[in-house]
Each structure stands twice: as structure tokens, then as C-alpha cells.
Amino acid sequence: YKRITTKSLVDMKANGEKIAMLTAYDYSMAKIVDGAGIDVILVGDSASNVMAGHETTLPITLDQMIYHATSVVRAITRSLVVVDLPFGSYQSDPKEALRSAIRIMKESGAHAVKLEGGKEVKDSIKRILHAGIPVMGHLGLTPQSIYKFGTYTVRAREEQEAEKLKSDAKMLEKMGCFAVVLEKVPAELAKEVAESISIPVIGIGAGKGVDGQVLVVHDMLGMTHEFNPRFLRRYADLHTEMTKAFENYRDDVKSRDFPSDKEQY
Ligand code: KIV
Ligand code: NA
């Protein structure tokens, strides 16, 4: 694939090719992620935690999401860029949801938006889709509703919530969403959902029976080393590497080792 589109993702699912997705929030990181051949870059509202240090995703604003998205889009040559609609930018009414989505598309140049929820936000999704803006759904653990859930534990373990999740996924497919994220649900349920719809299901903590995977880039790089959920595989230990680099630099400055004669003009 030259440039990844929403259609290439649906084709990948049809062809049995798994989809690799990561978050990015800034130009330098997005350039590396795009260059490494990651199919989808999510400008997640996890920026609220990872970039801004908030405890939840609720505080991040639409303006701040657009700033992150704009920086990411400047770095991209191949990946599809999906941007989270932040909490409060789409729940009140469908018109506001559409206005928020339009701002993201116009001001950042991103390719699609993602929002959390099923039936509750149906009218907002419909409105955005009717304007020609691709929508990715997000079901299971939806962090913008953390104060309703009360915990970040696995969702849809019980029959009733599992049934709602299945019907929400079907609804998103039928409405015309191009993909759906499933966060922290039992692997068996996620597999069942993935097999029941033709649009790709991208999992995070949803097992191997889905059509692709997504991780928060700072988590998989080992920068957020105090965050240790079972689903997280670490591909680097940047917390240790970066700490070593900073300590070595500090020592070199203090000891007058840096700069050397060769490192000056
Ligand atoms: O904001 C985010 O990073 C996300 C992913 C975890 C799916 O929504
Ligand atoms: Na998110």
C-alpha cells in the first residue's frame, strides 16, 4: 500500500492481513512511527495522560487535540491518521459533534475521527458520517466514561454488557464506520465480534482473535514504566535508556568532560 486509506484497512481484513496501529502526539514521534510502516497513527486523547500528565482523558480540549493532530499530520507520508474527539466535543448534540469533527479535519488535515460509545452516540456518528468524515468506533473500556465505570478493569465479562457490545459493534458497521477499537474485553468475545462484522476490529487488551492491534506508543517503548497491564508488551526500555543518557550527560557536564576540545568552535 502506498498511502493507507480507510478502504485499505477494510481490504486488509478481507485479505487476512493484520493491522498495526500506534498512538503519536507530536511530529518527531509520528515521523518515526510512519517511517516504520505502522498502518494507522492514532492521535489519542491518551495525550491527556501521556503528554499533559492528567489522571484521566477528560480534561484535554478540542484545541489541544487539534494541536497534536496538526503536528502529527506534518510528519506523515503513508500512515492513516485518526484523531480522537475529546470528551465534551460530541456528546451534547449531533450538530456540535459534526462541528468538532469538521474542525479536526479542516485544521489538522487528519483523515478520520474516533469517538467512544455505541447506541448513546448514534446520532452524532450518523451526522459526522453524512458529512463524509470517516469514523472509527471505540467500545468496551471507554476511558471518557471512567467516572461511570469507577475502574479500568476488563469490560463486558457479564452477559448483558457483552450483548450490548455485540449489538453496538453491528450498529457501527451498519452505519458505515470503517473500523472499531475494542478495549479491554475478554478475548473470546472480541473474536466473536471480529468474526461477526466486515469492518476491522482493532484490539487493545482484546486478545489475538481481532483484526489488528493498537498500543500507546509511550507504553510499548517502556517510557511509562509504572504502568503494567497484562496486555502490554514492551518493545524497548526507554525509561532506563533515557535515564542513563540524562545521568551520563549530567556527569559529563559536572566533570567538565563535555564539551571536549573537538566539540567546540
Ligand atoms: O487514546 C488512546 O490512546 C486510545 C487507544 C488506547 C485506543 O483511544
Ligand atoms: Na482514546
User: pLDDT of 85-129, one tens digit each?
Assistant: 999 999 999 999 999 999 999 999 999 999 999 999 999 999 999
As a whole number, mean pLDDT of residues 75-89 equals 98
Is 45 near ligand 1, meaning CB less than 6 Å away? yes
Query: What's the CA angle centered on 25, arms 62 and 250, to 5 degrees?
Result: 130
0.90 surpassed by complex ipTM: yes
Query: Which are the catalytic amino acids?
Result: 183
Upstream peptide bond of 259 is cis (omega within 30 degrees of 0): yes
Please state, in angstroms and rounded to a whole number, the distance separating the CA atoms of residues 256 and 235: 35
Give the number of the ligand closest to the Cα of residue 85.
2
Which residues does 234 contact at the CB level (< 8 Å), separation at least 6? 219, 220, 221, 222
Cell of 246: 540524562
Residue of minimum CA distance from atom 4 in ligand 1: 44
The rounded mean pLDDT for the chain is 97
pLDDT at residue 1, as a whole number:
59
- Domain extents for the chain? 6-220
Alpha carbon distances (Å) from 34 to 18, 21, 74, 212: 17, 10, 11, 17
Is 23 near ligand 1, meaning CB less than 6 Å away? yes
Residue of minimum CA distance from atom 8 in ligand 1: 44
Is 168 near ligand 1, meaning CB less than 6 Å away? no
User: pLDDT of 11-42, one tens digit each?
Assistant: 999 999 999 999 999 999 999 999 999 999 99
CATH (residue range 6-220): 3.20.20.60
Enclosing H/E stretch for 81: strand 80-84
Of 184, 42, 166, nearest in space to 115 by CA: 42
